[in-house]
Amino acid sequence: MNLLITGGAGFIGSHVVRRFVLNYPNYQIFNLDALTYAGNLENLKDIDSKENYNFIKGDINDMPFISELFQEHQFDGVIHLAAESHVDRSISDPLDFVQTNVVGTVNILNAFKSCNENNFEGKRFYHVSTDEVYGTLGKDGLFTEQTPYDPRSPYAASKASSDHLVRAYGETYDMPYVISNCSNNYGEYQFPEKLIPLFINNIINNRSLPVYGDGDYTRDWLYVKDHAIAIDHIFHKGKNHETYNIGGFNEWKNLDLVKLLCSLMDQKLGRAKGSSEKLITFIEDRPGHDKRYAIDASKLNKELGWTPSVTFEKGLSKTIDWFLENKKWLENVISGDYVEYYQKQYTQ
């Protein structure tokens, strides 16, 4: 099988690429990534000399290049992760999100469609999406696969749009597809613009911890390797034209999570109890901040037997250890453009 994974140099993509390269030596894995600020080949250093791994630097917005790539390799499967992924950046630059997440996805769909000439026997298009397409929850309830779409940030709207387009290609051209909508991931190699790695880095450097609003927002956290396992199950055993929600059964209010992180960091850094918590600073809220996300992942559990393999406390502890042991990786990604981004986002 020739399998294309887009966005494989990013956070989740690198875990998916590693899993497929190591577990399926008879597949040729092609990692297509534009290496934006979020893409980093350091994430894959341990597997990049494997015989079944191929890296291709390229932009999903470059249609002539994408068409040629599909004609050359005749991919049997696509796992599409390439996207702009950070909500805050989508608030300042929505058009970048429409371009990559919507138009880029249509480019990949078109290339897959034309190189198969509408005969998709044995082929599969897997679109990796987010729970943010469902909008926001009140105190109760969970997002199920039947929850109506109600995206509320430019990022969420661009992902919702790409989901609709994948389903439209499924109906119109009979393209075999699966979609998964996952909750918040955390783990090794996550870019420190997202809550957990940002705060780990700030605690290491004794910088303030910028909590949006009053911190009374809830997210459902999943260890990234468990997401990669879920993607493996769905790619191989999921039913065509179906959607699967993926979540951690693990809701945390932001402020409680930050306090847990502070106490684990105090222990691991040998600092006095309570010292990291003193860095917490409440800052202006994110515009349109979704109150609560929580996923009902029972379909994936019942139909494909998937369940998260690590508890949040264990996953978080492993994640912190990784960041403490990989300071060089962290230093490399927080230089250059990151400094400018940080100042723009957090200096009010």
Residue numbers of the site for ligand DAU (CB under 6 A)? 85-87, 130-132, 183-184, 194-195, 198, 210-212, 217, 219, 254, 286, 293
Beta carbon nearer to ligand NAD, 7 or 210: 7
Residues forming a β-bridge with 29: 3, 53
> What, of ligand DAU, ligand NAD, none, does residue 19 touch, CB below 5 to 8 Å by kind?
none
Beta carbon nearer to ligand NAD, 32 or 175: 32
Beta carbon nearer to ligand NAD, 222 or 262: 222
State the DSSP string of 90-132.
HHH-HHHHIIIIIIIHHHHHHHHHHHHTT--TT-EEEEEEEGG
Q: Is 187 in the site for ligand NAD (CB under 6 A)?
A: no
Instruction: Tell me which residues are annotated as active site.
Output: 131-132, 155
322: which 2 tokens? 């990784």
Q: Is 83 in the site for ligand NAD (CB under 6 A)?
A: yes
Nearest to 1 by CA among 162, 130, 101, 124: 124
Q: Which residue stretch of 10-18, 136-144, 283-291, 300-308 sits at the interface with ligand NAD (rule: CB under 6 A)?
A: 10-18
Cβ contact 241:176 at 8 Å: yes
336: which 2 tokens? 């250059």
- Please give the DSSP secondary-structure letter assigned to residue 143: B
* Strand positions, DSSP E, 140-272: 177-182, 184-186, 209-212, 218-223, 242-246, 251-253
Cβ contact 339:207 at 8 Å: no
- Please give the DSSP secondary-structure letter assigned to residue 134: G
Q: Which of residues 15-44 bind ligand NAD (CB under 6 A)?
A: 33-36, 38-39
Instruction: Give the span between the Cα atoms of 298 and 264, in whole angstroms.
Output: 31
Q: How far is the CB of 163 from ligand DAU (least distance, A)?
A: 12
Q: How far is the CB of 194 from ligand DAU (least distance, A)?
A: 4
- Interface pattern 135-154 for ligand NAD (x via CB under 6 A): --------------------
Beta carbon nearer to ligand DAU, 108 or 133: 133
Q: How far is the CB of 227 from ligand NAD (least distance, A)?
A: 7
- Beta carbons within 10 angstroms of residue 149's beta carbon: 15
> What, of ligand DAU, ligand NAD, none, does residue 12 touch, CB below 5 to 8 Å by kind?
ligand NAD
Q: Is 9 in the site for ligand NAD (CB under 6 A)?
A: yes
> What, of ligand DAU, ligand NAD, none, does residue 319 touch, CB below 5 to 8 Å by kind?
none
> What, of ligand DAU, ligand NAD, none, does residue 87 touch, CB below 5 to 8 Å by kind?
ligand DAU
Q: How far is the CB of 272 from ligand NAD (least distance, A)?
A: 32
CA distances from 236 to 5, 99, 138, 144, 281 (A): 14, 30, 35, 22, 45
> What, of ligand NAD, ligand DAU, none, does residue 226 touch, CB below 5 to 8 Å by kind?
none
Q: Is 12 in the site for ligand NAD (CB under 6 A)?
A: yes
What is the b/e burial string over 185-206, where b = at least 16 CB atoms within 10 angstroms of the residue's CB? bbbbbbbbbbbbbbbbbbbbee
Q: Is 230 in the site for ligand NAD (CB under 6 A)?
A: no
How many residues bind ligand NAD, per CB under 6 A? Answer: 30
* Residue whose CB is nearest to ligand DAU in the complex, by number: 130
Q: Is the Cα dihedral 74, 56, 167, 238 positive or negative? A: positive
Give the torsion through C-alpha atoms of 158, 160, 163, 169, to 10 deg. Answer: -80
Residues forming a β-bridge with 186: 223
Interface residues with ligand NAD (CB under 6 A)? 6-7, 9-13, 33-36, 38-39, 59-61, 81-85, 100, 104, 128, 130, 159, 182, 184-185, 191
